[in-house]
Amino acid sequence: MLHKIHFPIIVVISFVLFAATGEIIADTSAGLEQAKSNIISLIQESKYAEAQVQTQKLITDFSTNPPDLPEALYWIADGYRWEVKHEQAKNLYQQIIQSYPDNLWAHKAELGVLRSDVMSLIMSQDFDRAQEILNRIIADFPQHEDFPETIYWIAERYRWEEGYEQAKNLYEQIMQHYPDSEYANRAKLGISRAEVFSLIASQDCNQAEEVLDKMVADFNDHPDLPETLYWFAERYRWERKYEQAKNLYEQVMQDYPGSVYASRARLGISRAEVFSLIESQDYNQAQEAIDKMVADFNDHADLPETLYWIAERYQWDVKHEQAKNLYKQIIQNYPDSAYASRAELGISRAKVLSLIVSQDCNRAEKALDRLVADFSEHPDLQSTIFMIGEGYYNRAFHCENEGRDTEAKEHLQKAITIWERVVTDFPESDFTVQAYYFTAGCYRRLGQYEKAIEYYQRVVSKWPNYQYTWNAQFMVGCCYEELKDAATVEKSVVDARIKAAYEQVIQKYPDCPAVYAARQRLEHTAKLKEKAQK
């Protein structure tokens, strides 16, 4: 009887324990999912420091839940990747590989590490090193389930950085080797898209419109076409082709009214109108257009970003008060937006720049020091410091045009000091190459040619694909010519260096605008040498 009595009791107890355990596991999984979602939201809001703190807390809190933790960390890393924070993404991928080497997500993270490296190198315009790592991915991961997607997004990154030929080559590779992948269909459109972007960037708008019309005909039903047309419009706007931008926004609204990009295009038309008015310096009408935009699109998700970039545009026109007013509007009306934090930094930057314009350099330097202290962890700090350097650089030209040469030199020296902070404090920043390039220009204008050569050569050696590397190489030759005229370097030595500098322009950058001038200078130098030998 004992057995008959206890058996059902044991079954009931076991069932209760199993159910309780299931509830605990479910609760733990739900908690992990919620924590992961919260961290990804922080990343999307550009709150990276807080996201890192919460990620470490997640690892501690859920360390006893290993089956789901690697996956959660992987998607957090992917969240960083989508926000173009490749170093943070890479660190998490590596943590997954180290802590869970036998897990499925470790295998995905291995590809993620290399993908992050390629993306970072493309963004820094180091296309040669990017290609080396890309070759490793192609050799080591051709059977990886994420391979076609990875190659597609690397192609997209090339396109964003104007590496159009590299992008097209990768799109073609996807189509050839993975014809059944969903990314093959996207890659077909990608080739046409890269071609149009390339033509717009080269200012060949007529040819761009022809290719665009053919693309619309060929891919009329493609799900990515509304987005593609929207970004063409945005590219036209960036190129200050406001009428072409507005025409494309209207096409998106008319042909794809149910698309999310139709709503964005409606705001895009208003935005293009404001930018056009600011460009024509019709600031009163621009303000009226901004007020109407705010009234019409008050609840639009893209409005805080739009107001931010209008404020930035005002700053480019040295309209710091208008910029500050818009920054304040973002902070007040959209405090939870990712652009509220950027607007706070924008106000401090506008203050520094306005002090520079008013020639109050002592207060400007104090305001800059305070800005750096207050926003030391802000992701836009490096770009802000660079822009403040530009403020001094532009004031130097202004003083020079008014015949105030001493003040111009002082401003150039201050620009150097600011840009040296970028070089020293942010050596891997996207702005580092620009800091080197423009610092070289300052040294050249100050007559410090040896320092200018040092900085130009740094650009040439480290950033061969930077958009102005060809000019840096050309300016090396120009600076050596100045040293030759000053007779500060032995003539035979400087002649050889001038010849080598201009030959490098012709050999490495045969299609650049400086090739003709480099040839002319080489011919002139050769004639002088021949004349001297007679």
Residue 20 is predicted with a pLDDT of 47
3-state SS of the chain: helix, strand, coil percent to 5? Answer: 80, 0, 20
Report the chain's C-alpha Rg in angstroms: 28
Tokens found for residue 228: 């593609």
503-524 residue pLDDT tens: 999 999 988 998 899 998 888 7
Q: Which residues contact 108 (CB under 8 A, 6 or more apart)?
A: 74, 145, 146
Residue 486 is predicted with a pLDDT of 73
Rounded Cα gap, residues 81 and 75, in angstroms: 9
Q: What is the DSSP letter of 478?
A: H
Question: Could you tell me if 509 and 476 are in contact, meaning their C-beta atoms sit under 8 angstroms apart?
Answer: no
Closest CA to 314 of 345, 292, 348, 287: 287
Question: Could you tell me if 417 and 388 are in contact, meaning their C-beta atoms sit under 8 angstroms apart?
Answer: no
**What is the 3-class SS of 207-239, one letter each residue?**
HHHHHHHHHHHHCCCCCCHHHHHHHHHHHHHHC
Closest CA to 466 of 496, 438, 498, 485: 438
Residue 522 is predicted with a pLDDT of 87
Residue 328 is predicted with a pLDDT of 96
Question: Could you tell me if 374 and 348 are in contact, meaning their C-beta atoms sit under 8 angstroms apart?
Answer: yes
Q: Based on the number of CB atoms within 10 Å of its own CB, is 284 exposed (0-12), middle (13-18) or buried (19 or more)?
A: exposed
Tokens found for residue 218: 């060929």
Note down pLDDT in tens along the chain; length 534 residues: 344 445 555 554 454 444 444 554 555 678 888 899 999 998 888 788 889 999 999 888 887 766 788 999 999 999 999 888 889 999 999 999 999 998 889 999 999 999 999 999 888 778 888 999 999 999 999 999 999 999 999 999 999 988 999 999 999 999 999 999 999 999 999 999 999 999 998 888 899 999 999 999 999 989 999 999 999 999 999 999 999 999 999 999 999 999 999 999 999 999 999 999 999 999 999 999 999 999 999 999 999 999 999 999 998 888 999 999 999 999 999 998 889 999 999 999 999 888 888 888 889 889 999 999 999 888 889 899 999 899 889 888 888 888 888 988 999 999 999 999 898 888 878 789 999 999 999 999 999 999 999 999 999 998 888 889 999 999 999 999 898 877 766 777 878 898 999 999 999 998 899 889 999 888 877 776 666 665
Number of domains comprising the chain: 1
Q: What is the dihedral of CA 278, 248, 84, 125, to 10 degrees?
A: -80
Closest CA to 123 of 150, 87, 94, 165: 87
**Cα 129-131-133 angle, rounded to 5 deg:** 75
Is residue 130 in a domain? yes
- Ramachandran quadrant class, 240 (left: phi over 0; alpha: psi -120 to 50; beta: rest): left
Q: Could you tell me the residue range of the domain that residue 81 belongs to?
A: 26-145
Is residue 138 in a domain? yes
- Residue count of the chain, please give it: 534
Q: Which residues contact 101 (CB under 8 A, 6 or more apart)?
A: none
Residue 139 is predicted with a pLDDT of 94
Is residue 19 in a domain? no
Is residue 362 in a domain? no
Other residues' Cβ atoms within 10 Å of the Cβ of residue 299:
5
Q: What is the DSSP letter of 319?
A: -
- Ramachandran quadrant class, 81 (left: phi over 0; alpha: psi -120 to 50; beta: rest): alpha
Is residue 203 in a domain? no
Is residue 102 in a domain? yes
> Which residue type occupies 445?
R
CA distances from 383 to 129, 260, 306, 468 (A): 24, 31, 19, 18
CATH number at residue 98: 1.25.40.10
Q: What is the DSSP letter of 417?
A: H
Is residue 110 in a domain? yes
Is residue 41 in a domain? yes
- What pTM did the predictor assign? 0.76
Closest CA to 142 of 181, 106, 168, 105: 181
Tokens found for residue 102: 């036998």
